[in-house]
Structure 1
Amino acid sequence: MVASDNHGVFLNCGEFAEKRTIKYDGATYQDVPIILSGLEEEDRRQLMSDHAQGLYAVSSVLHCALSDLGGAQPERGQRIRINDQEGGGGFFREFYVASSVCEMGMLRVELEAVDE
């Protein structure tokens, strides 16, 4: 019943979700209904020995069904790429997995990237 609600309500493309292509661990998953929230830039904490200026930390939270990624739960520190428009085209943003939790078949993946 929960799995039905996940796809029928939360991951419903007519309501909340959008279909995107995800590339993770050498595999490509097309037309995955996802919710990508909190995509925001903030100033990156800069160390004294760090001379890279103009870089920002980007953080976001990805919600999708574990089954839509072939049962592969993203692991912390791994890279994941998500395109920015439906239909498989567009630009792929690359993120690092900061944390990943799976509850009742739904993934909640916290993502971080460095963006210029």
Structure 2
Amino acid sequence: MTDLKSKFLEVYSVLKSELLHDSAFEFTDDSRQWVDRMLDYNVPGGKLNRGLSVIDSYKLLKEGKELTDDEVFLACALGWCIEWLQAYFLVLDDIMDSSHTRRGQPCWFRKRRYASL
């Protein structure tokens, strides 16, 4: 695979879109916009090492065999589960510590413009 990180980010967009349009959730327009912004603000902004390492680990388990497109997608999806869980932990940590910034920008819970959505 030529650019693992680009593929990983493409899968993020697919997963986010599927989540936002899943009929199991009864999103209002405002709540869908809030979740959309919250995910983009908190999840893909880091180095993505945890998620990318899931794909690398899967490649090692395949012992040099080329991954199929489906395997790449599923490994990326699992990697995003790790990244989303880590983002959740970071948001909670920021709240517990009353932090002001994360990755050079205001912590999500301090973003007043999102509080009303």
Same fold judged by TM-score > 0.5?
no
The structure whose residues are more often helix, as a share, is 2
- TM-score of Structure 1 vs Structure 2, range by shorter chain: under 0.3
TM-score by length of structure 2 reads 0.22
